[in-house]
Amino acid sequence: MTRIDAKFAELKASGKKAFVAYVMAGDPDYEKSLEIVKSLPAAGVDVIELGLPFTDPMADGPTIQLAGQRALEGGMTLQKTLDLATEFRKDDDTTPIVMMGYYNPIHNRGVDTFLADAKAAGIDGLIIVDLPPEEDEELCIPAQKAGLNFIRLATPTTDDKRLPKVLQNTSGFVYYVSITGITGSAEAQANDVGPEVARIKAKTDLPVIVGFGIRTPETAEAIAGIADGAVVGSAIVAKIADGEPTDAVQAYVKTLADGAHRA
């Protein structure tokens, strides 16, 4: 059982929904990023998604693209992202960390080496947005064998024919993308998302978490109310981009987490 599995079992037992927060590793710099990541559990974050900076992030909107650019310009690398997770783990051995990004840096390092290093750093799961199920032998199946969850995205365009393929080797949770398009664009609508979540849950026992288009405590509550939890990324990253101090970022994240936990 991974930390992700344990966290969702604990939430289910207490009748709570999950709040997942995304931040870009190394944004605006390594030290501030580590400080922010360390502050998230106290804000009520159940799962941390740690963005891996990449030069060509095709699924990300401008907010997260710019965060990745800032991180790369500050010297952030895959190794430093793993170092950040290692530092976080010195004080927190329970909050799950999911690394989210693209396959290039992992391929460049070598899958076996990367998986061993990720496991040692305390990474619990991976969301690699440019590896479809057809490429499962590449990383997904080796990751599962190494004891990491491989979390897949489902979208409004994932029809009933495609869905079983998407769910086939997924573990940890399913990440439902609430809108078509890029991160940080339109606002998620619970009325639209509800039937889609129900459709996915009819095909899997995994928790279904909804992300993209959630910026307020009210939306976090509404979305968590029809799913197993909510993810917020761009709205948090925007606060960091504005130069807000860590305690202000933490206070904002807490309002979102409280919203999701009210559901």
Active site residues: 49, 60
How many CB atoms neighbour CB 16 within 10 A?
17
Q: Which residues pair with 19 in a beta bridge?
A: 230
Peptide bond into 28 cis (omega under 30): yes
Q: Tokens in use for 162? A: 């495609």
Helices (H) and strands (E) in the chain, counts: 12, 9
d(CA 3, CA 173): 12
Strand ranges (E), the chain: 18-24, 47-51, 97-101, 125-128, 149-150, 152-154, 174-177, 208-211, 229-232
What are the backbone dihedrals phi and psi of residue 158, each rounded to the nearest 5 degrees, phi first? -80, 100
Q: How far apart are CA 171 and CA 140, in angstroms?
A: 10
